[in-house]
Amino acid sequence: MDTTRVFDTNVQFLKYKVLKEVIRRAYEGGLENSYTEIPKIISPGPKSELRCCIYKERAIVQERIKMAMGGDKSNPNVVEVIDIACDECPIDGMYVTPACRGCIVHNCKEVCPKGAITIVNKKAVIDKTKCIECGKCTQVCPYTAIIAQHRPCVQSCKVKAISVDENKKAVIDNDKCISCGACVYKCPFGAIQDKSLVLDIISILKNSQENKKYKVYAIIAPAIVSQCKFGRVSQVVTAIKKLGFYQVVEAALGADITLYHEAKEWSEKKLMTTSCCPSFVMYIEKYFPEIVKYISSSPSPMIETAMLIKHSDPTAKIVFIGPCTAKKIEYQLAKTNHLIDSVMSFEELQAFVDARGIDTTQMEDTVLDNASYYGRIFAKSGGITKGVADVAKSMGVDGVVPISMSGIEECKMALTRLKFGKAAENFFEGMACVGGCVNGALCITHSPKNVFDVDKYGNEAKEKTIENSVKLYELNQKS
């Protein structure tokens, strides 16, 4: 199988190669020699291909190995900058390129609200002390001669948590960061990465003694459906079981129950935000403390599903598999009662499956069908909104006026209105990733078509309503 085609970017592929090699060694031996041997496998030399010299290239691979093995344990954030991988991108902001013809109309000068542009020797010159980087000049130049040079990491970070230090290296402010992972996907040098918990997961699997000592369950996020470029979801489920998991359960089942709780909670509160996206919750906590009271107290689908599993199997160990960096934070929070033992990304799943020599395309099918249509469309922005509106209606609750906020920029606008009491809506669905989980930072692919896969998968569910999932929940509550 040609794995290079699986990923969107070469950075993802590089991360995958390192992960795969680390995982392979965890099973076949040689983990202790990882730091000396893996860099030479990834960058065989003698000439460097990606960096200034082969030594730096290999040193960066060593840093990636460290991330694959859990990263800096003293840093509570799951997203970290690999210092030496940061290419110190230019941070000049608005830049006049040689394409400037020194025209007579000089729209740039006219449009600048701060008077920062003057024409010197028939060329536009920007006074950096006055420029506020609004970007208007870049839009009006007839020759598109003015460009905005922003760091991709800084630009991707919608909460302005990334700054540049005196050595021009990117630095993440943990107090501001919401661990959404946007920078992880956007840095063209792969200098910002998420820590992997895959070695912990391997120990959980190994210590289960083939599910005899305790059983290991995988909860899989519904966004998986858009990620199966090789093979079907049903084959991926078989592949996950081949890794040593006892059983695979859809997080969408928990999503059904979350919907039920949220609809009920809304009928009491009448003004509420969702709580499924951990980055969105962190965003409110850090940037809109005044409206924390509106966050739904309903547990996330991951946690609801885990509660169902633990109820039927109290000694179960549970690993969540999804597209999300922030879930790697959420599972550690006290409010989740440590129901989840670890979290694996889709990227890591791909590496794990390949490291174990499992060819997904050759797997038989294992059905995965517990959740309803509504639970499954949680993966896309607008999914919860649709679910809550319909569920509330079926409960006889009227008056839900929902808004689905896709990405932090939309969240910011709507939450600001909510904060100042100017919002027309009363149910706020927030997702930190634009488009929802289906476009999550640790998705293998981020195609705009992914959302169609989610709809199709939703329609394939046996259960068209959440009724039976709720019955299951109630059955467990009773006993």
Partner 1 sequence: MIIKVCVGSSCHLKGSYDVIEQMKAIIKKYDVEDLVDLQAGFCLGFCSQGVTVKVEEIEAPKVEQISDGELFIHNVNKDNAEEIFAKEIYPLLNL
* Contact flag: residue 426 with partner 1 (CB under 8 A): no
The single-letter code of the amino acid at 464 is K
We find the least distance from the C-beta atom of residue 388 to partner 1, in angstroms, to be: 23
Residue in the block written with tokens 């008056």: 399
We find the least distance from the C-beta atom of residue 231 to partner 1, in angstroms, to be: 17
Handedness of CA 80, 83, 89, 92 (dihedral sign): positive
Stretch that binds partner 1, among 131-139, 147-155, 365-373, 443-451 (CB under 8 A): 365-373
Q: Which is nearer to partner 1, 234 or 267 (CB)?
A: 234
* Contact flag: residue 107 with partner 1 (CB under 8 A): no
Binding positions for partner 1, 193-222, rule CB under 8 A: 217
Among 62, 247, 267, 465, binds partner 1 (CB under 8 A): 247
We find the least distance from the C-beta atom of residue 365 to partner 1, in angstroms, to be: 11
Among 79, 228, 240, 249, binds partner 1 (CB under 8 A): 249
Q: Which is nearer to partner 1, 312 or 362 (CB)?
A: 312
Q: Are 11 and 86 in contact (CB under 8 A)?
A: no
We find the least distance from the C-beta atom of residue 203 to partner 1, in angstroms, to be: 23
- Chain centroid to Cα 18, Å, comes to 20
Q: Are 397 and 375 in contact (CB under 8 A)?
A: no
We find the least distance from the C-beta atom of residue 479 to partner 1, in angstroms, to be: 5
We find the least distance from the C-beta atom of residue 71 to partner 1, in angstroms, to be: 32
* Contact flag: residue 242 with partner 1 (CB under 8 A): no
Q: Which is nearer to partner 1, 4 or 312 (CB)?
A: 312
Q: Which two tokens stand for residue 181?
A: 């992972």
In degrees to the nearest 10, what's the CA dihedral of 302, 328, 6, 355?
A: -100
Q: Which two tokens stand for residue 205?
A: 């699997």
Q: Which is nearer to partner 1, 157 or 391 (CB)?
A: 391
* Contact flag: residue 468 with partner 1 (CB under 8 A): yes
- Chain centroid to Cα 73, Å, comes to 20
Using the 8-state DSSP alphabet, how is residue 128 labeled? T
Q: Are 221 and 278 in contact (CB under 8 A)?
A: no
Among 48, 62, 163, 366, binds partner 1 (CB under 8 A): 366
Among 22, 86, 368, 444, binds partner 1 (CB under 8 A): 368
Q: Which is nearer to partner 1, 47 or 478 (CB)?
A: 478
* Contact flag: residue 471 with partner 1 (CB under 8 A): yes
* Contact flag: residue 288 with partner 1 (CB under 8 A): no
Among 16, 185, 189, 246, binds partner 1 (CB under 8 A): 246
Instruction: Say how far apart CA 73 and CA 158 lie, in whole Å.
Output: 26
Stretch that binds partner 1, among 7-15, 80-88, 134-142, 360-368 (CB under 8 A): 360-368
We find the least distance from the C-beta atom of residue 373 to partner 1, in angstroms, to be: 14
Q: Which is nearer to partner 1, 88 or 474 (CB)?
A: 474
Lay out the site mask for partner 1 across 306-345 (x = CB under 8 A, - = otherwise): --xx-xxx--------------------------------
Instruction: Say how far apart CA 445 and CA 440 lie, in whole Å.
Output: 9
Using the 8-state DSSP alphabet, how is residue 463 labeled? B
Handedness of CA 266, 268, 269, 270 (dihedral sign): positive
* Contact flag: residue 455 with partner 1 (CB under 8 A): no
Q: Quick one: which H or E segment has residue 17?
A: helix 10-28
* Contact flag: residue 122 with partner 1 (CB under 8 A): no
Q: Are 363 and 386 in contact (CB under 8 A)?
A: no
Residue in the block written with tokens 């998420």: 194
DSSP 326-338: THHHHTTSGGGTT
We find the least distance from the C-beta atom of residue 310 to partner 1, in angstroms, to be: 10
Alpha helices in 218-345 (DSSP H): 233-242, 251-269, 278-287, 301-312, 327-330
For residue 297, CA distances in Å to 203, 275, 292, 294, 337 come to: 33, 7, 10, 9, 14
* Contact flag: residue 85 with partner 1 (CB under 8 A): no
Q: Are 371 and 459 in contact (CB under 8 A)?
A: no
Using CB under 8 A, list all residues that contact partner 1.
Answer: 217, 246-247, 249-250, 308-309, 311-313, 366-370, 462, 468, 471-472, 475-476, 479
